[in-house]
Structure 1
Amino acid sequence: MRTRTRNAIGVVALASAVALILAGCSRGGGGTSSDSVAPSPGITETAITLGITTPMSGTTAGPGTCTVAGVTAYFGAKNAAGGVKFGDGKTRKVEIKPLDDGYDPQKAKANYDQLKDSVFAMTAGLGTPTNRAWREAAISDGVPQVLVMTGDPIFSDQKQSPWQLGFVPIYQNEGEAFGTLLATSGSEHKVAVLYQNDDYGKGYVEGFKKGIEGASNITIAEELSYEATDASVDGQLTQLAATGADVFFNAMSITPLVISSLNKAQSLGWTPNWFLPSNTSSPGGILQKANDVSVYPGIYSVAFTKAVQSPAFADDEDVKTFLSDLKAYADYPDTPAFPHCAWSYQVGATLEQAFEKMTSPTRDDFMKALRSISDFSAPLMLEGTAVDTTADGQPAVSTVFVQKYNGKGYATATSWE
């Protein structure tokens, strides 16, 4: 009897050992922690590493560099204060590994391949085509691709994949907000549309058309597209100007093309109201680099963050802390011209919320924690907006306000002016 008992105990012990080995070999495993939980790659008991692939050179380098600067500044300040306390009770420093993809999808995929085995998660990177380039690989590898800077709704669809989550409002939400404002203006408008011929541009147009659906006062005079690789859209501007439209819906992501479009329209004597997507509406990075934009009766965009360049927020504590952190920890001495610096700073704060909820050092537990955040007022958020990661089909931020440029910054537009 005793012999059988000892053998039974030995069998149980052997089975337990095999179970632990198998757990360590499961997807995302990377050794065992002191608590016998197999941590995913990129996390230790003292540090966690995040990867970013984003354009830090080329035509979108301005906003792309910001996607690194903001999150680096946020965690730089946290690291200087000792680190982030995770839900498992351990305090970790957060390390950022950024790589430049130049807004080239093939380079973005190569960057992901280089980073995937050494980082815990990928985050913050800018671009729809560049993020799409390695989305399927991330799903297959079980690597979180989260709080990325694309409004493509595919990144927030849990039914397609539990490994992705966008941060900024989807393009449809932005387009619809402007369309709704225009439709409720009480006056007739003729609209000319120019959109980037990809999911980015098409998403904005889809949302805009939803916003004006059933509105008898809105007519789309003409709708043209361009390729993101085009060096000029002068031909499209000339054709659209001939319509005499009083509103120009310009769903464009390429910074130099936005500036040249503003200038070309002026040279044609066409001065409509403009709508610009949030990522190409920067006062300092775009509007103030074009010719005198005061000739246009109104330039509209949407926002969910405080405009850090605006005098209205000069004494705001969030803004002052953000600018100080950006200078101290991201070597970014100037007030950023693009909102992406603020957005990625908010990404850092949202990631911290998830880290504080994690009870195991695994990617699975991280995604569960990340998907449980609701009504979180991240730094720099406008009143009335919040981070909510619990709604399937929506990114972390889904509420936006239409704003009108006033010569220095943007102010909320509650009605058509």
Structure 2
Amino acid sequence: MKRNIRKRGVLGAVALSAAALLVLSACARDGGGEASPGITDETITLGVTTPLSGGTAGPGTCTVAGLRAYMGAANAAGGIEFGDGKTREVQIEALDDAYDPQKASSNFQTLKNEAFAITSGLGTPTNLAWREAATADEVPQALVMTGDPIFSDQEESPWSLGWVPVYQNEGEAFGEMLASSSEDHKVAILSQNDDFGEGYVEGFKEAIAGSDNIEVVGELTYEATDTSVDAQLTELAATDADVFFNAMSITPLVISSLERAQSIGWEPSWFLPSNTSSPGAILEPGGASAYPGVYSVAFAKAPASPEFSDDEDVQTFLANLDEYADYSDVPAFPHCMWSYMLGATLEQVFQDMEEPTRESFMESLRSIEDFQAPLMLEGTTVNTTEDGEPAVSTVVVQKYNGQGFDTVDQLE
């Protein structure tokens, strides 16, 4: 089931010497003017602020690993030829923000004069922490991993663009599938008390509005800093809901929630966000096979899925991940695949850049249309040309099969 996003001169007494002009030309673009920070004729530096420690370190580490894998392979092949005719090597500087907005903001201040663009980092509160500063300083906040629609609104965020589908889209996709069921369902909702959780719930509720067969019988929230949601699960279990919509972004809490619900005898069908539905890192440790169904959405091929074990894209990805990112395991989180696809998209942007400036980068960034990045599922593409939408705006609904996910059209 595929779902698309809805919307939303006079010379001075001292002239520059010929020698000085030659020095400046190394950093100047054709037609005059200096290149932006973080780029030379030989290299371009990309910055990343993302959680490399704490509860979201697993997916956060993947946001760097996939990018290193793609760019490492590109560098080994001779670098990337940019639209200005120069071939450059891509360097990556990644800083840990531990999913802390204050640390993310501090990281931005460190990176803004060292990196040409800041990309790939995970988290809504952390990316929001420096979005306004990026706009004020005219630093690209490019293809960041948050589903908040504000990052793709050109008026509100002219120097930003989201990478992953907006939260509303994921929630809507599951809501539409549930609403199409021929049976009656009672739904319990637990959501993170921020834009992340609110977005998922908003999309879900809009999709089930007017459906006679769907009743929301309980709705609670939790804080991203909480270490337990046992009390909320106990209260929601008392509703006897047969579907649990869990808009949760913290890996340890998802695992403990799966375990807790079983321990109190509550076994509904689950919906989980795409970033917290990893088969190996979350569902298997949490005992997800005990439930009648665990559903999520995706736009990337999962290497752990038997369906893609021999896929050429997957094999190339795994080899590059091992060689250039020192990541030898099959990724437990989709963010490894997402950042690899993101790297391929950035290569397209670089190839179209006519000048080594952030302005030229943003112009090229917003001109990618129907790009089939490596690892993309059939029916999904990268499109950055529509205001209000992130780079990826299509998803398919999938059901956990004990190892990976299968695409489905209805609740099973």
| Aligned counterpart for 2:348 among listed residues 353, 371, 386 | 353
Instruction: Tell me the equivalent position of 1:99.
Output: 95
TM-aligned CA deviation for residue 16 of structure 1? 12
3-state DSSP class of the match of 1:126? coil
| Counterpart in the other structure of 1:25 | none
TM-score w.r.t. the length of structure 1 is 0.92
Partner of 2:5: none
- Does 2:397 align with 1:402? yes
Cα distance in structure 2, aligned partners of 1:274 and 1:176: 15
| Conserved 8 A contact 2:369-2:385 | yes
User: Which residue pairs with 1:3 in the alignment?
Assistant: none
Alpha-carbon distance change, 17 to 183 in structure 1, aligned in 2, over 3 angstroms? farther
Residues 4-403 of structure 1 aligned to structure 2 (within 5 Å): 14=10, 32-33=28-29, 36-290=32-286, 292-403=287-398
d(CA) in 1 for partners of 2:378 and 2:45?
32
Which residue identity is paired with 2:344? A
Q: Deviations over 1:161-198 (max 9, x none)?
A: 21000000000000000000000011110000000000
Q: CA deviation at 1:294?
A: 2.1
Letter in 2 for 1:305: A
The C-alpha deviation readout for 1:359-383, integer Å capped at 9, x for no partner, is 0111011000010000000000000
* CA–CA separation in structure 1 for the residues paired with 2:393 and 2:71: 24
Structure 1 residue matching 2:281: 3-state secondary structure: coil
Q: Give the deviation of 1:35 after TM superposition.
A: 5.4
Give the structure-2-normalised TM-score. 0.94
- Matched-pair contact (CA < 8 Å) for 1:37–1:360: no
Q: 1:17 to 1:208 in 2, by over 3 A?
A: farther
* Deviation readout 1:353-402 (Å, 9 max, x if unpaired): 11000001110110000100000000000000000001111100000010
Q: Could you tell me how far apart the structure 1 residues matched to 2:274 and 2:185 are?
A: 22
Query: Could you tell me how far apart the structure 2 residues matched to 1:326 and 1:357 are?
Result: 26
Unmatched 5+ stretches in structure 1:
1-12, 21-29
Q: State the distance in 2 between where 1:164 and 1:55 align.
A: 19
In 2, Cα distance between the equivalents of 1:399 and 1:16?
57
Counterpart-to-counterpart distance in 2, 1:144 and 1:63: 22
In 1, the alpha carbon distance for the partners of 2:288 and 2:141 equals 38
Judge conservation of contact 1:37–1:361 (CA < 8 Å) in 2.
no
Name the SS for the 2:346 alignment partner: helix
SS in 1 for 2:279: coil
User: Displacement, 1:341?
Assistant: 0.2
Percent pairwise identity: 68
Q: Distance in 2 between matches of 1:37 and 1:67?
A: 33
Letter in 2 for 1:184: S
Q: Distance in 1 between matches of 2:288 and 2:146?
A: 27
Between the two proteins, the alignment pairs up a number of residues equal to 394
| Structure 2: gaps (5+ residues) | 1-8, 17-25
Separation in structure 2 between the aligned mates of residue 99 and residue 143 of structure 1, nearest angstrom:
17
Q: Is the 8 A contact 2:193 2:224 kept in 1?
A: yes
CA distance, structure 2, for counterparts of residue 305 and residue 46 of structure 1: 32
Deviation at 1:124, TM superposition (A): 0.1
AA paired with 2:298?
A: A
Residue 33 of structure 1, CA deviation:
4.3
Query: Aligned-pair RMSD on alpha carbons?
Result: 1.6
Paired letter, 1:284:
G
Quickly say closer, same or farther: Cα 1:16–1:252, change in 2 above 3 A: farther
Shift of the 17–324 alpha-carbon distance from structure 1 to 2, 3 Å rule, reads farther
Aligned equivalents of 1:145, 1:388: Cα separation in 2: 17
Distance 2:27 2:347 in 1: 24
Q: Which amino acid aligns with 1:181?
A: M
CA apart distance, 1:45: 0.6
1:151–1:166 contact (8 Å) kept in structure 2:
yes
Q: 1:343 and 1:171 mapped to 2: Cα distance?
A: 16
